[in-house]
Structure 1
Amino acid sequence: MNDPLELESIADKRKFAGFVILLVLCAAAVRLALAEQYPGFISDQRLFVQWMESVRDLGLGGAFAANGQINYPPLFLWIMSLYGDLLHALGISANAGSVSFKSLLILIDLAAIALVIKLASSVGNYNWRSFTIVLFALNPALMTDSAVWGQVDILHSMLMLLAVIWLPRRPFMSGIIFALAMLTKFQAITVFPVIGIWLLTGLAKERKFRPLLMWAAGFVCPWIATLGYFGAAGSLGKMISQAYTDAVGFYTSATMNAMNIWFYVMGTDPNTPDTEYMAIGITIRNFGFLLLFLAVVGICLYIYRSREESITVLLKASASLCLAFFMLPTEIHERYSIPALVFTLLVLLKDKKWTLPAGLLTLTVLMNLIIVLDDNVNYGTGVWMAIVNLFVLLWMFRSLWTGAGRDPVPAAAAKAGDA
């Protein structure tokens, strides 16, 4: 005779599978409707389409050599070229502001949702698992960034997330994925201190050399292939300068529409050049870097001291560091908040208390994107977001330190759904 509990479990799994299928279809439908209704940020999309055509005509190496406007690393360009080849085979032209181009971004979104569903499978509580998946799949801020704006911030954000999550158990793959994140967008470097201090902590406390060596080996592999390819194409220097070195310090405003401390919270007009000196004798830019450095030190100390389960520590530290990167330095764009939001949403799989920052960040990131799209960035529309974001950042740091000495969650509790 079948066990009633086993039959109930099978029924729950089938019910959840049906829910997931409907959710993914709904997520795709909503994104397609938004992409059709709103053209988004046309200048970004026009550049992407131009880069896509350049890569299709000249190859990756030739595109960087001939097109000085390319300022993204090569991985997304390569993905766009594959998508462009598919459209060309179907006789379709990709146009900025239309579904023909945004469908690529929607496909990347759906892949991200599938990954989150997989990562959430360890949560035994079906209700909480469903809530976290819905919050990610139908997150209005994430949908606005891709289906409306026409950007691809979810790609490097998910690669950063995967590199962090795989770090404790699959360091070689973590290194590969982090290299791919860096080859997607330079902003991925944000979580490197988290990865580095975790590896060094294992080395210092437990004399574990293998994770560090495996991670480094994985990280090197994609770079060897990339540098070899662009070196052979004669465009290595152009790729490095356009995608990485020239991107730093290109804009000198205290904030580039990011609702952070430099949007009036510090008493600084957002348009103030960050090369100006502050009263204490250093530039605004250097003071922002100093604040970020202090945040990095604090987060590294949390990783070193914390006794929570490894994945929980890494997710919380990464979420806090990504938000600190958005909030504290100068020259930050509004979309640089997306990795912080992604990591915060995934922390919910481990700690329900992070529902508050997840909800508040969803609101502020969404509204930040909307006012930029509407060309309506001013003190009245934005300062409240900067204040809320600062509150969330301080809440995160307080949460890190209050949980630094917490013992790991027992396995039985984790299986029961105490995420």
Structure 2
Amino acid sequence: MQKILENLPIKWHHLLFYTLLVAIIPHTGFWFDLNNDWPRWSTYAFEHGLSQIYNSDTNYMPFYLHGLYWFGKLQGSKELIYANSYQLKYFFLLFDFAGAIAIAFSLKKYYTRQFAEYMLLFNIGYLYCTVIWGQLDSVPTSIVILAIICLFERKLLWAAFFCTLSIYAKLQAIVFLPFFGILLIYQLSLKFDKWLIIKMLLVSLITQFVLLSPFIFGGTFFNFLKVVRESVGFFPRVSVNAYNIWYLLLKSDPSTINDTIHFFGLTYKKWGFILFFSLSIIAFIPLIINTLKRILNKKELDKDYYTLIWLTTGTIAILFFFVNTQMHERYSYPAIALYFAYALLTNRYSIFALTSVAHLMNVDGMNKTFGLNPFKPEYTALIFAIILVLSLIRIYEKFSFKIK
């Protein structure tokens, strides 16, 4: 029994620290989310049933709406839902812990640092979205992390579950689908098993059915599809408070400029897509070539490959935030955890530290809870640009086009 307890990823000090945070977590947050949208949608589901929540004005994916429904059920009344909406932070905080512990536990054979997970759990940049803001960014991020870990370790049925769940938690997780595909192709090249593929498809389909069945049988499935279709273009501005490249390129405030305005023959939105896909291809080339080498040479995945995976995922997360239009201030959040995994594997913490600082400068610069960012948004945007350049340099450090 003692050996089993020692091998569990969750330790007594994790439970103690989680309890401490729950005890001191502020009951306030970003009003429009924590005291308006969340309790309003939870109340709607409580009063009309989960199956009808897409008849409200919600624009969120099903996984979170399931959570809001059960939160309302636990509270038992509209008054308590609104009064205790801050308790949703406790749910989000579980995922902050899950991401940090999953990385530290799965990578422990590659480093010797004790209590490594607390480099995230003591990181205010990492915890800000949950503890101060009251947002759910930790939920899809941790699910993506678990999907990558399971794919790397060939736990493919769990991988199918987490890959599917990540998209239904937040649609922006779609940017990580290429990583899921690359790792899956490698694992199937080692040992092709058609029954395993069928099982993975069944896991994915069952997961989707569980999440979508209330809306399918409740007659609101097409409302869900409408939310998915309209998710791109919901905030048609060049920036929705994300201090990114547009603050460096435009003289006017990007948050006041419609991204459908044309610039040199194309809209700002299309320029953002072009920049994202072009730079993403550049970032992906070493990973694709490295994977191809391992497939052709039948070489196992190792620390170097794992390092490249985490570095590239972090880079793509920053790219998504930095060059696209319609980006919110919180959208650089996933990169903190992804760069943390890279830092643990390499003992190189500069990119992780810069990302933590830049993310905090952006979210508190907009939210102004602590007044931590007295500088112009352009300074934060410049830090993100430095992070991106450093990441691409690191990606190409050991790169070679040679297959053998």
Same fold (TM over 0.5): yes
1:20-169 to 2 correspondence within 5 Å? 21-22=12-13, 24-30=15-21, 32-36=23-27, 39-45=28-34, 46-65=36-55, 67=56, 69-88=57-76, 93-95=80-82, 99-125=86-112, 128-130=113-115, 132-168=116-152, 169=154
User: Which moves more between the two structures, 325-334 or 167-176?
Assistant: 167-176
Once residues 271 and 193 of structure 2 are traced to their aligned partners in structure 1, the CA distance between those partners, rounded to angstroms, is: 36
Once residues 24 and 336 of structure 2 are traced to their aligned partners in structure 1, the CA distance between those partners, rounded to angstroms, is: 23
Alignment pair present for 1:236 and 2:231: no
1:237-287 Cα shifts (integer Å, max 9, x gaps): 001212x111111222111111110123455641222212223x2221111
What is the number of residues matched between the two proteins?
384
Aligned partner of 1:391 in structure 2 is 386
SS state at 2:230 partner: helix
User: Which moves more between the two structures, 154-163 or 212-221?
Assistant: 212-221
1:47-89 Cα shifts (integer Å, max 9, x gaps): 1111122222322211113x1x111111112123223333339
Q: 1:57 to 1:111 in 2, by over 3 A?
A: farther
**Structure 1 letter corresponding to 2:339:** T
Q: 1:167 to 1:95 in 2, by over 3 A?
A: same
1:264-413 to 2 correspondence within 5 Å? 264-265=248-249, 269-270=253-254, 271-279=256-264, 281-306=265-290, 309=302, 310-353=305-348, 355-374=349-368, 380-405=375-400
Alignment pair present for 1:260 and 2:250: no
Q: 1:379 to 1:295 in 2, by over 3 A?
A: farther
Aligned partner of 1:413 in structure 2 is none
Q: 1:114 to 1:52 in 2, by over 3 A?
A: farther
Question: Is the 2:30–2:134 Cα contact (8 Å) retained in structure 1?
Answer: yes
The two structures have a TM-score, normalised by structure 2, of 0.83
**Structure 2 letter corresponding to 1:29:** L
Question: Is the 1:256–1:331 Cα contact (8 Å) retained in structure 2?
Answer: yes
**Structure 1 letter corresponding to 2:280:** V
Q: 1:351 to 1:217 in 2, by over 3 A?
A: farther
User: Which moves more between the two structures, 344-353 or 324-333?
Assistant: 344-353
**Structure 2 letter corresponding to 1:362:** S
**Structure 1 letter corresponding to 2:65:** L
Once residues 369 and 334 of structure 1 are traced to their aligned partners in structure 2, the CA distance between those partners, rounded to angstroms, is: 6
SS state at 2:239 partner: coil
1:94-132 Cα shifts (integer Å, max 9, x gaps): 33686444333334434444434533443451xx242x3
Question: Is the 1:341–1:361 Cα contact (8 Å) retained in structure 2?
Answer: yes
Aligned partner of 2:169 in structure 1 is 184
Question: Is the 1:145–1:151 Cα contact (8 Å) retained in structure 2?
Answer: yes
Question: Is the 1:194–1:317 Cα contact (8 Å) retained in structure 2?
Answer: no
Once residues 80 and 98 of structure 1 are traced to their aligned partners in structure 2, the CA distance between those partners, rounded to angstroms, is: 10
Can you give the 5+ residue segments of structure 1 that lack an aligned partner in the other structure? Answer: 1-9, 407-419
Once residues 322 and 96 of structure 1 are traced to their aligned partners in structure 2, the CA distance between those partners, rounded to angstroms, is: 35
Q: 1:212 to 1:390 in 2, by over 3 A?
A: farther
Q: How far off its partner does 1:221 sit?
A: 3.1
SS state at 1:335 partner: helix
Aligned-residue sequence identity (percent) comes to 21
SS state at 1:349 partner: helix
Q: 1:345 to 1:94 in 2, by over 3 A?
A: farther
**Structure 1 letter corresponding to 2:30:** F
Once residues 204 and 321 of structure 2 are traced to their aligned partners in structure 1, the CA distance between those partners, rounded to angstroms, is: 25
Once residues 373 and 267 of structure 2 are traced to their aligned partners in structure 1, the CA distance between those partners, rounded to angstroms, is: 24
**Structure 1 letter corresponding to 2:278:** L
Once residues 248 and 373 of structure 2 are traced to their aligned partners in structure 1, the CA distance between those partners, rounded to angstroms, is: 10
Question: Is the 1:274–1:330 Cα contact (8 Å) retained in structure 2?
Answer: yes
The two structures have a TM-score, normalised by structure 1, of 0.81
Q: 1:266 to 1:298 in 2, by over 3 A?
A: farther
Once residues 381 and 80 of structure 2 are traced to their aligned partners in structure 1, the CA distance between those partners, rounded to angstroms, is: 40
Question: Is the 1:51–1:70 Cα contact (8 Å) retained in structure 2?
Answer: yes
Once residues 294 and 114 of structure 1 are traced to their aligned partners in structure 2, the CA distance between those partners, rounded to angstroms, is: 34
Question: Is the 1:44–1:150 Cα contact (8 Å) retained in structure 2?
Answer: yes
Question: Is the 2:42–2:81 Cα contact (8 Å) retained in structure 1?
Answer: no
Question: Is the 1:292–1:328 Cα contact (8 Å) retained in structure 2?
Answer: yes
